[in-house]
Amino acid sequence: MPEEKKFSRDIVGKVIVSKSGKKFGVVGDLVFETRTGELIYILLSNATEFAANLNLETSKNGDLMVPFSSVLSTGDFVIISEEDII
């Protein structure tokens, strides 16, 4: 069965939570590799104190960045694997 395609507008604004239910913040933007189109990071907006204490990489603007490789699924929420970013 082919994968369902999602557009960035469908993901931006979604709440990011870990599979254990810890809230990280909201998807503010997406960072991708321009040559390949590969998604690299999710920029957090409204980062929670929990996310701020995790030593995540930051963008030039100081936004926390979650590796897109940690995303498990997208739907009502963006679910990430906390183990993949710690």
Asked if residue 46 belongs to a domain, the reply is yes
**Residues spanned by the domain of 66:** 10-84
- Domain count for the chain: 1
Signed CA dihedral, 79, 17, 27, 53: sign only: negative
Can you give the pLDDT at residue 47? Answer: 93
Asked if residue 4 belongs to a domain, the reply is no
Can you give the pLDDT at residue 1? Answer: 52
Asked if residue 3 belongs to a domain, the reply is no
* pLDDT tier, 76 (very low <50, low <70, confident <90, very high otherwise): very high
Q: pTM of this prediction?
A: 0.84
Please provide the size of the chain in residues: 86
Strand residue runs (E) in 1-86:
15-18, 23-32, 39-45, 57-58, 64-67, 71-74, 77-80
What average pLDDT does this structure show over 80-86?
83
pLDDT tens digits, one per residue of 15-65? 999 999 999 999 999 999 999 989 999 999 999 999 999 889 999 989 999
Q: How many CA atoms lie within 13 A of 10 on its CB side?
A: 8
Q: How far apart are CA 79 and CA 54, in angstroms?
A: 17
CATH of the domain at 68: 2.30.30.240
